Chains A and B, each alone.
Chain A
């Protein structure tokens, strides 16, 4: 069974700090890894990573994948209070009968204080 583990489970920082969130995975067949941000209700898509060592970047957020060591990190620089959210990592099932199934980690709760 596919497994995703995120760390830390929660993190409290002050505005301006840089944070690194971790996601490790064990899957039968790997195709991609996805990061989502969940504020209040709907998880919103951040990044999809498929290739090792290639950084995806969007403003102050960036993410990279290491397929050899089976993990990904999400970096947020110069954090703002609006970055406070739950950050979710997920991997899709590939092949077999588990069509469309995303396996999620427990999430990291990030709190940014002013």
Chain B
């Protein structure tokens, strides 16, 4: 498999559930990112990881918890979400933090009931 993959592609959860989003990149990149894309709003950066270390947390609520066990995998753990958290969550990777071109996965469409 090539590029950036994400699972699941669709997720419906209640406000009391706990779930995790998974991202895997097959590009040998060292930096990985989580973005949120809500309707009619620009993509918003949530987290940045470089070589498994978090370098940016863009004022994201603690109900979103990222994890980067190695440079190829990135998770976003979700708990006690709100309906307004419903959005498309996109993962991306780049060669390094100073490489501008980021490559995106297909996203997870999350619906919080």
Contact = CB atoms under 8 A, between A and B. Distances in A.
Contacts of B45: 101-102
A43 interface: yes
Interface stretch (A14-22, A74-82, A103-111): A103-111
A12 interface: no
Contact of A41 (B40, B101, B106): B106
Contacts of B50: 99-100
A34 interface: yes
B100 A42 contact: no
Contacts of A42: 4, 90, 104-107
Interface residues of B, number: 28
Closest 5 CB pairs of A and B: A99-B97, A104-B43, A104-B42, A41-B106, A100-B97
A36 B100 CA distance: 13
B42 A92 contact: no
Interface string A41-64: 111110010000000000000000
A88 interface: yes
Contacts of B56: 97-101
